[in-house]
Structure 1
Amino acid sequence: MNYTQKSRIEQITDSTLIIGIDVAKATHVARAQDHRGIELGKRLIFDSNHRGFEALNTWIKELQRSYYKTTAVVGMEPTGHYWLTMAHYLLQKEIKAVVVNPAHVKKSKELDDNSPTKNDIKDARVIAQLVKDGRYSEPNILTGKYAELRVAMVQRERLMRSLIEIKNQVHNWLDRYFPEYPTVFKDWEGKASMIALKNFPLPQDVVNLGMEGIVTQWKSEVKRAVGIKRAIKLIETASTSVGISLGQTMARREIEMLLEQYFLLTKQLDELAQDVVTILEEIPGAVQMLAIPGLGWITVAGFLAETGDLQAYSHPQQILKLAGLNLKENSSGKHKGQTRITKRGRPRIRALLFRSMLVLVSKNQQFKQLHQYYINRKDNPLRKKQSIIALCGKLIRVLFAIGKKSVDYDPHKLLGKERLMQFQLVV
């Protein structure tokens, strides 16, 4: 990831064996060639298991010995998650593994045979040719605490999706059986509301239990904020409810199961949060990042889970490209197109930075002032969303410096005296 295309091309020499692999779920296809594009040996079709990977390793070693190649480079498409096991295997065998852009494979598949035909054998050859031309990138395979952090944040994202789904199903249940419920409890996730949904969820249950029964159950777990007035309002609402009154036995069972899943997911999220914070404490610079006002552990953990060790980068521009926040424009002759971000990087880190910046421009005084400066300056003022994107790049540079040097956050360096003076003049 630290190389330009020229440097990548220079790594492919006459002593390099180039392997292109078309990755699938169960069966892969590999083809080999030299630095001039001449195919070497026969293609290899192997399974995605230990025996297949060992056959690939043996095939590569035999080709190196037969054609006097001292090094080997294996290129593949990052197809879903299927390529990860092979990449880790090659890393253990000290064989260099690189990835090519699937869009490049699609666009260049007609160069050799002038045919739009697509198959696994042809794709393996196209991938090898792209590697030969230096059109590849080295995957950032995380290790140690960064690998733990990546797995944890992926699991958190999965749990959050499941939790949102459960919440939507609870809303659906309330709309069917007790549509007036939100007029009594604005937030159904509150303690008193949870007691009601667990013990007397249906309007008929509320009416049958009565005021004293409701208050008694509330007071057993909640000592304040709920009482007779709330109970009376709940009973009055339940007595005139237009909710469905059929199938109540299974309706109670449905809300019971939904609440069980809700409590399980929230418990797992809390436990996962504790694990992530513990991991962050062991990563250099993470504690200093957490000291930035308005920046939480979710942003820091998500950022490091995507980038890995910041010591592997030489410039923050590399992380900008990884996030797809680097700029592009279409210009020709006298025409100059609009400048936009490429969105060619990882959408997860891009979305994470954007969401965190929405908080920072309201909670962090320095980012707030910079945002106001960008949208109010006299020369080339930015729109609000453009300013947010520009500040995402600023945040990347701040996190890069903190993680690289393990220094404390300095708000004065972020704003700068000259820019602050300019901002004050504009205001």
Structure 2
Amino acid sequence: MADLLEGTLPLNLVAIDIARYSNAVLMELSDGKRQRFRMTNSAPDFDRLLSYLQALPGNCRVALEPTGDYHRPLAHRLLTAGHEVVSINSVAQARYREAMFKSWDKNDPKDAQVILEMLRRGTYQRYVDPQIAGHHDLQELAKTYYQVSRARTKVQHSLINHSLPLYFPEMHRYWCTTRNEWFVRFLLEFPTPTHVRALDRENFVAAAWNLVGRKVNKRAKLEEIWETAAHTAALPHAPDCLAVETFRITLRRYQELNVLRAAIEARAEAELHDNIDFAHLKTLPSIGSVIAMTIARSRREGHL
């Protein structure tokens, strides 16, 4: 019934090639006429476009090629105004452009023409607005987790590949991502072999006892570190030198990112503690809170 009703109404096709600052718009009106113009990503231009579309007879189907998140404010405005919004796949558009123009050369007006042609042929996907669908908060949480994880990985690589060879290369044998918390705590207190050997064996074991966490044979491990520090390949650093302080800055940054990532995971747990899909996904090996949240959200969007 809906398809029959839509067929009786004039349909205006709107193709928008999204960019950071301005967008190329190509329209094919219900009477077959075409119009082309540019608009900026600003509230006044959004208002002008919506006013123009509202004045057209019939319905409007608007196709966007997602570019970063620059398309989302305009798509949200269009949807809340009652217009149909669809999404054009970037890879499919590139293939279509090559077939149409026999070239990989691209520009905004040409891309808008390709989008319009794909819109006319029905080569598009349903667009889901995260805010309207109710999972915008979870999406932003997942994106933030990704950024924090990227920053953490970058700092981790710096620690392993740059800092440890200079300050305490022998400690690399104790590195493991599953026990990096005690590893960082220990290095903050004893960043170089000089700091370790500044104490005698018993005093060092006592000072480091609460830093390394639970160990099957903690005393033997600490005594091994103390002995290893006596003959080291590290550069000779004064205990209070600027270089050692920069090493500690990197360690603190890594520690902060660990805490922040754990807090985001806890927030994901709190938000979805009563979600059945989330609970089932968490039972799978290697599926943590944020990955489970991302998969559950994608399923609600209809992507899975």
For 1:259-408, list aligned pairs within 5 A.
Answer: 259-283=251-275, 285-286=276-277, 289-290=280-281, 292=283, 294=285, 296-309=288-301, 319=304
> How far is 1:115 from its partner?
7.3
> How far is 1:73 from its partner?
0.7
Q: What does residue 81 of structure 2 align with?
A: 93
Q: Is the 8 A contact 2:13 2:27 kept in 1?
A: yes
Q: Is the 8 A contact 1:195 1:218 kept in 2?
A: no
Q: 1:152-199 CA deviation, whole Å, 9 max, x = no partner?
A: 12221222222222222111211222222234x354845654343112
Q: 1:108-133 CA deviation, whole Å, 9 max, x = no partner?
A: 44777777753222322221121111
Secondary structure of the structure 1 residue equivalent to 2:91: helix
Q: Is the 8 A contact 1:33 1:39 kept in 2?
A: yes
Matched, 1:50 2:39: no
Matched, 1:73 2:61: yes
TM-score (norm 2): 0.83
Q: Is the 8 A contact 2:183 2:212 kept in 1?
A: no
Fraction of identical pairs, as percent: 20
Q: Is the 8 A contact 2:278 2:296 kept in 1?
A: no
TM-score (norm 1): 0.61
Matched, 1:252 2:244: yes
For 1:124-203, list aligned pairs within 5 A.
Answer: 124-143=112-131, 145-172=134-161, 173-183=163-173, 185-187=174-176, 189=179, 193-203=183-193
Secondary structure of the structure 1 residue equivalent to 2:236: coil
C-alpha distance in 1 between matches for 2:172 and 2:100: 65
How many residue pairs match? The answer is: 297
Q: Is the 8 A contact 2:185 2:212 kept in 1?
A: no
Return closer, same or farther for 1:151/1:200 CA change in 2, 3 Å cut-off: same
Secondary structure of the structure 2 residue equivalent to 1:82: coil
Secondary structure of the structure 2 residue equivalent to 1:129: helix
> How far is 1:86 from its partner?
1.4
Bigger RCO (CA 8 Å, 6+ sep): 2
Secondary structure of the structure 1 residue equivalent to 2:39: strand
Q: Is the 8 A contact 2:182 2:213 kept in 1?
A: no
Q: What does residue 33 of structure 2 align with?
A: 39
> How far is 1:213 from its partner?
3.2
Q: What does residue 22 of structure 1 align with?
A: 17
> How far is 1:19 from its partner?
0.5
Q: What does residue 391 of structure 1 align with?
A: none
Unaligned runs of 5+ in 2: none
Over aligned residue pairs, what C-alpha RMSD do you find? Answer: 3.2
C-alpha distance in 1 between matches for 2:103 and 2:212: 72
* One of 225, 247, 250 as aligned partner of 1:234: 225
Return closer, same or farther for 1:297/1:109 CA change in 2, 3 Å cut-off: closer
Q: 1:311-365 CA deviation, whole Å, 9 max, x = no partner?
A: xx5xxxx62xxxxxxxxxxxxxxxxxxxxxxxxxxxxxxxxxxxxxxxxxxxxxx
C-alpha distance in 2 between matches for 1:44 and 1:254: 54
> How far is 1:151 from its partner?
1.5
C-alpha distance in 1 between matches for 2:30 and 2:117: 9
C-alpha distance in 2 between matches for 1:103 and 1:186: 41
Q: What does residue 338 of structure 1 align with?
A: none
For 1:213-232, list aligned pairs within 5 A.
Answer: 213-219=203-209, 225=215, 228-232=219-223
C-alpha distance in 2 between matches for 1:204 and 1:156: 37
Q: Is the 8 A contact 1:21 1:74 kept in 2?
A: yes
Return closer, same or farther for 1:270/1:127 CA change in 2, 3 Å cut-off: same
Q: Is the 8 A contact 2:9 2:59 kept in 1?
A: no
> How far is 1:258 from its partner?
1.5
Unaligned runs of 5+ in 1: 1-6, 320-427
C-alpha distance in 1 between matches for 2:96 and 2:182: 62
